Amino acid sequence: MHRYFLEIAYKGTRYSGFQIQKNAITIQSEVEKALQIFFKQNIPLTGSSRTDAGVHAKQNYFHFNCNREIITTDIYHLNAILPTDITVKAIVEVTSQAHCRFNAISRVYEYYLYQTKDPFKEDRAWYYPYSVDNSLLSEAAEVLMQYQNFASFSKRNTQVNNYICHIQYSQWSQRQGMMVYSVKANRFLRGMVRGLVGTMLQVARHKITIENFKQVIESGDASKANFATPAHGLFLAEVNFPQDIFFCN
């Protein structure tokens, strides 16, 4: 029996999230259906990072077991079966105990905003036609590096043992006419990136101060954060693994 990591990218606009759900179309349900059609057997998938409804991914992973060797042309055939808004980028054989969720060492999320109306960006970024103080945005992003407990930015309808996240970088930049927030950490809480973005924008619009922002973080109270940030601006950009240990050469 072989174990594989399946790397995918997708536009999440018309899906009810990543993980399989009853009576809903999800990324996992579409990929499992394509695998069943191609391999003529049911192949259950385990996902790496669960994205919410409407969230996109430049890179995400499943792992699965299969009793035959995967060849390059299999990727072509799976992509021919899958909808146009989901693509298989690679299928890589890994060691039998490798787990695409628990062995991930870090993840990178990006959030995109644009301030000039553009119909070609409306489903991939948040139209935000307000004046913002970019220096305050950058300062708020740097403040996050001082903390590890992000309970204030976790939606409460989730099951986690703790709210500790180790952020490796947190920064705002300009990219192709858009404002982009990039954040890398060992793990993320449900709704965390959208909560961070929404609350940092409150700072950048002078609705709260940097000190207020710190107080929100330190309070551990999610009702004080701003989660009114639409899903369609959020991308899971990277999932990183220790390849020399878990991936077969």
Inside any domain, residue 34: yes
Domain assignment of residue 243, yes or no: no
pLDDT tens-digit readout, 157-192: 777 889 999 999 999 999 989 999 999 999 999 999
Is residue 233 domain-shared with residue 138, that is, in the same domain? yes
Provide the angle, in degrees to the nearest 10, between the axes of the packed helices 192-204 and 134-143.
Answer: 140
Residues 149 and 27 in one domain: no
What are the strands, taking DSSP E only, across 67-195? 86-94, 106-114, 126-127, 167-175, 178-185
Per the structure, the count of domains in the chain is: 2
Residue whose token pair is 């399989």: 20
Provide the 8-state DSSP code for 247: B
pLDDT at res. 245: 58
Domain encompassing residue 54 = 2-103
Instruction: Report yes or no on 88 lying in a domain.
Output: yes
Note whether 86 and 199 are same-domain residues.
no
Are residue 22 and residue 55 in the same domain, yes or no? yes
Answer yes or no: are the C-beta atoms of 165 and 189 closer than 8 Å: yes
Assess if residue 183 is contained within a domain.
Answer: yes
pTM of the predicted structure, to 2 decimals: 0.94
Residue 172 lies in a domain: yes
244 is an active site residue: no
Mean pLDDT estimate for the chain: 93
CATH number, domain with residue 140: 3.30.70.660
Catalytic one of 52, 74, 85, 123: 52
Statement to judge: residues 71 and 131 lie in one domain: no
